[in-house]
Each structure stands twice: as C-alpha cells, then as structure tokens.
C-alpha cells in the first residue's frame, strides 16, 4: 500500500516533469524557423540551403561514409545513410510544422557519419557561430 508521503512524492515528481515539459514547449513555441537548412559534417558547416530551392544533397566523405539529404519547401529528411544503425533515417523528416513536437527538435543527427541536418532559426546570429556547433 502506498503511504501518504510516497503519494505526495510521486505527485510532486509528476508535477515537476509536467512543468519542465510545458516550459520546453513554450520556449520552442516562441522560436520560429527560417527558410534555411543547415548541414554540418564532422562539426563544420558543410552547406546552407534555402528551402525554396528543393534539392537532393549527396554527402560523400573521404572515409567512405555517404548521406543523402532531401530538402523541399517544408523541411528536410535523411533519405539515405551508409551507417549501420539507420537511426537518422528512422528520425523522419524535420519540417516547419513538426519540429516543435519532435524529440530531436530542429535536427536530424547521423552520429556514426557525423552529419547533422538542422532547420535554422530566424535569429540571424544563429546562422552559425563556431561555438554553437555540435561536438561529435
């Protein structure tokens, strides 16, 4: 049987989790994505692609890794990756409409191949300072 103290502790933890989730949703909701997709390879900005110019970007690295990114007016998707686990493919598309609800937010990450696809924020400073780049 659950004691009163245990019940209060459980309710408190659930309330804290709900508050943190709600706060994160508010922060994401106040941000707006721009019309640009940023592509990073090995922590360096590889390409800046406007979403109004749909295209398929093939990334071939010297080490043999290959990623194919499809970009359209709504966002981007990792269409192919040579990595073994394929988690980047399973992350699905990141779009203007779904980025606030995705676990990975504005990004698609292929960790084995060190490739990050990201919807840029409207904040011009965010396009991109070296210290903001992900460490892979």
At 37-79, the pLDDT tens digits run 999 999 999 999 999 999 999 999 999 999 999 999 999 999 9
**Tens digits of residue pLDDT in 78-106:** 999 999 999 999 999 999 888 888 888 88
Closest C-alpha to 52, from 96, 103, 111:
96
The superfamily (CATH) of domain 32-132 is N-utilization substance G protein NusG, insert domain (2.60.320.10)
pTM for the predicted model, two decimal places: 0.68
Which of 1-10, 27-36, 92-101 is least confident?
Answer: 27-36
Closest C-alpha to 99, from 108, 90, 89:
108
pLDDT of residue 24: 56
* Cβ neighbour number for residue 75 with a 10 Å cutoff: 21
Q: Which carries the bigger pLDDT value, residue 68 or residue 35? A: 68
Alpha-carbon distance of 92 to 117, in angstroms, equals 12
What are the sequence ranges of the domains in the chain?
Answer: 1-30, 32-132
């Amino acid at each position: 049987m659950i004691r009163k103290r245990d019940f209060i502790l459980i309710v408190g933890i659930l309330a804290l989790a709900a508050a943190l989730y709600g706060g994160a949703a508010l922060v994401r909701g106040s941000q707006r994505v721009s019309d640009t997709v940023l592509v990073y390879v090995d922590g360096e900005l590889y390409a800046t692609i406007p979403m109004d110019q749909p295209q398929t970007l093939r990334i071939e690295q010297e080490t043999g890794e290959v990623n194919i990114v499809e970009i359209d007016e709504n966002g981007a998707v990792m269409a192919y990756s040579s990595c073994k686990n394929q988690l980047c493919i399973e992350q699905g598309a990141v779009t203007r409409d779904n980025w606030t609800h995705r676990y990975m937010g504005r990004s698609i990450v292929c960790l084995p191949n060190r490739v990050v696809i990201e919807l840029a924020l409207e904040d011009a400073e965010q396009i991109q300072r070296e210290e903001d780049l992900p460490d892979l």
